[in-house]
Amino acid sequence: MDDTFKPSRRAFLRGSAAVAAGSVAGAAAATGPDPLITELQDWTSYTGVGVDETPYGMPISFESHVVRRNVEWLTASPISSINFTPIHALEGTITPQGCAFERHHSGAIELAKPDYRLMINGLVDQPLVFTYDDLERFPRENHVYFCECAANTGMEWAGAQLNGVQFTHGMIHNMEYTGVPLRILLNEAGADMSADKWVYVEGADASSNGRSIPMEKALDDVLVAFKANGEALRMEHGYPVRLVVPGWEGNMWVKWLRRIEVTDMAVESREETSKYTDVLEDGTARKWTWEMDAKSVITSPSPQMPIKHGAGPLVISGLAWSGHGKIARVDVSKDGGITWETARLGKQGDTKALTRFYLDMEWDGAPMLLQSRAMDDTGYVQPTKEQLREKRGENSVYHNNCIQTWYVNSQGIAENVEVS
């Protein structure tokens, strides 16, 4: 440690100004008139592109790095795999469909609306078949919900693994869905809606991913959705129809939904036994762990979003969510959990939807250990990694909602770390 010094607070503040000076960029540091202002620029003189240049608009080329990305070595084949939402580069709460994470078990399929059929059978008075057009004739609702894969942050059980919030927390998206309450369709078929019944849902793709949902949930807030963020679902998210199971793990949000069966027991399909069950330290496993517990993460600064502007005003921005209801409060720590201050919510949280939080601060250039801690309106407080491991061990890959730590050094570079 010879190349370091132990500063008093005051001495440090003076020192940090020097650190900052080197990295202050652009207009603020300009010593003379800025040619971007004083000289006539091409874009101010020549005309731009006409309408219809891109009948369906894509983000401008300067934003081409804001894309979903996969980590190839995590899975055997990209057809049964996952990629990650670039949450580090997004703001607000709505995830654009084009960069919302994908998880397929047998690839994304092209299923046209005229070829689409939805069957309801099992314990119903009348088994029914609906076309896509039929679904658009039932009363519909609009709701914003997050969809989080149960394996989001799963790598991190084993300690800090992947250096980027996109990769540690990017198996999540948040969209406004338009769809028919499942309850309406169950009622249409005269389903047995007693509380001990189950609804088994499956998709039309080759994996035929099927999950069992208890009747109480099916009647509560589940939607049979056909639009997201105002437009048709994307192929990779289940076009033309997917299930929306608010607050519950993403695997249950069956895509290309083709069948709804009312049963008298859980089917115990592959996806709810061999997968999406949580092995505990003693080797027993929890099953039916449907709800996604409250969780939050700072998206900027983060490893992919270093502080580039040096000392001075800094916006800490992050996301919080809970499968149990609304986000009531988010606290942020800059010292690895010794001291906490309550962050500002971008807007009051919607139930089972992403909530944006901010902490507006003056950064003095000192290293930080940034953490965020969400609380939902059931009073649940997001646990530390240590608390989670104490309860569950490290044998599972699912439902890791631990408090995340970023180490931010004096240059503003952030890294995924684990702390005592």
Partner 1 sequence: MSKSPNLFIPAIGSSALVLWTAFALMDRDQVAGGVDTLETQIGQVSATTTAATLVAGGTPAEPAPQIDKRYGLGRAAHPEEIAAWDVDILPDGRGLPEGSGDVWTGEEVYVDYCASCHGDFAEGVDNWPVLAGGFDTLGNKDPVKTVGSYWPYLSTVWDYVHRSMPFGAAGTLTVDETYAIVAYLLYSNDMVDDDFVLSRETFTDVQMHNADGFVVDDRAEAEYAEWRAEPCMENCKDTVEITMRSVFLVETPPEGGSNSVMNPAKVEGLPSFTAEGPSFIPVAAPKAAEAPAPETAEVAAASDGDALLEHGEKVFRKCSACHAVGDGARNKVGPHLNGIMGRTMGSVEGFKYSDGFADANAEGKVWTTEEMVAFLAKPKSYMKGTKMVFAGLKKDEDLEAITAYLASFSE
Measured in whole angstroms, the distance separating CA 313 from the mean position of its chain's CA atoms is 27
- As a whole number of angstroms, the distance between CA 168 and CA 95 comes to 17
Min dist. Cβ of residue 21 to partner 1 (A): 11
Question: Which amino acid appears at position 87 of this protein?
Answer: I
- Report the side by side order of strands in the sheet with 312-321: 295-300, 312-321, 355-363, 344-345
Q: What is the spatial distance between Cα 418 and Cα 59, in angstroms, rounded to a whole number?
A: 35
Specify the residue, 149 or 370, whose C-beta has the smaller distance to partner 1: 370
Residue (172 or 261) nearer to partner 1, CB: 261
Instruction: Specify the residue, 281 or 360, whose C-beta has the smaller distance to partner 1.
Output: 281
233 versus 397: smaller Cβ distance to partner 1 = 397
Q: Which of 320, 324, 259, 255 is nearest to 289 (CA)?
A: 324
Residue 2 vs 39, nearer CB to partner 1: 2
Amino acid type, 314: L
From residue 209, alpha-carbon distances to 35, 104, 254 in Å are 58, 10, 7
Judging by DSSP bridges, how do beta strands 81-82 and 128-131 pair with one another? unpaired
**Residue 237 to residue 353: CA distance in whole angstroms:** 18
Tokens of 18: 């020097």
User: Minimum distance from CB of 252 to partner 1 (Å)?
Assistant: 12
Question: What's the closest the beta carbon of residue 73 comes to partner 1, in angstroms?
Answer: 7
For partner 1, the closer CB: 50 or 283: 283
Neighbours of 200 (CB within 10 A): 21
Question: What are the backbone angles phi and psi of residue 216, rounded to the nearest 5°?
Answer: -55, -45
Least distance (Å) from partner 1 to the CB of residue 127? Answer: 4
Least distance from C-beta 258 to partner 1, angstroms?
7
Radius of gyration of the chain (CA): 24
Residue 174 Cβ, how far from partner 1 at the closest point, in Å?
18
Cβ-based nearer residue to partner 1, 81 or 97? 81
Q: Cβ of 400: how many Cβ atoms within 10 Å?
A: 26
CB 253 within 8 A of CB 104: no
Nearer to partner 1, 65 or 344 (CB): 65
CA distances 94 to 97, 209, 265, Å, are 9, 26, 36
User: Taking the complex as a whole, how short is the minimal distance between the CB of residue 139 and partner 1, in angstroms?
Assistant: 3
Q: Which is nearer to partner 1, 175 or 364 (CB)?
A: 364
CB of 117 to partner 1, least distance (A): 8
Residue closer to partner 1 by CB (options 205, 228) is 205
CB of 62 to partner 1, least distance (A): 8
Q: Least distance to partner 1 from the beta carbon of 370, Å?
A: 11
CB proximity list for 199: less than 8 A, separation 6 or greater: 182, 186, 212, 213, 214, 215, 218, 260, 261, 262, 263
Provide the minimum distance between the beta carbon of 415 and partner 1 in the complex, in angstroms, as a whole number: 6
What are residue 325's phi and psi, to 5 degrees? 160, -135
Beta carbons within 8 Å of 132's beta carbon, 6+ residues apart: 113, 114, 116, 226, 240, 241
**How far is Cα 200 from Cα 195, in angstroms, rounded to an integer?**
14
**Which is closer to partner 1, CB of 232 or CB of 267?**
267
d(Cα 336, Cα 195) in Å, to the nearest integer? 45
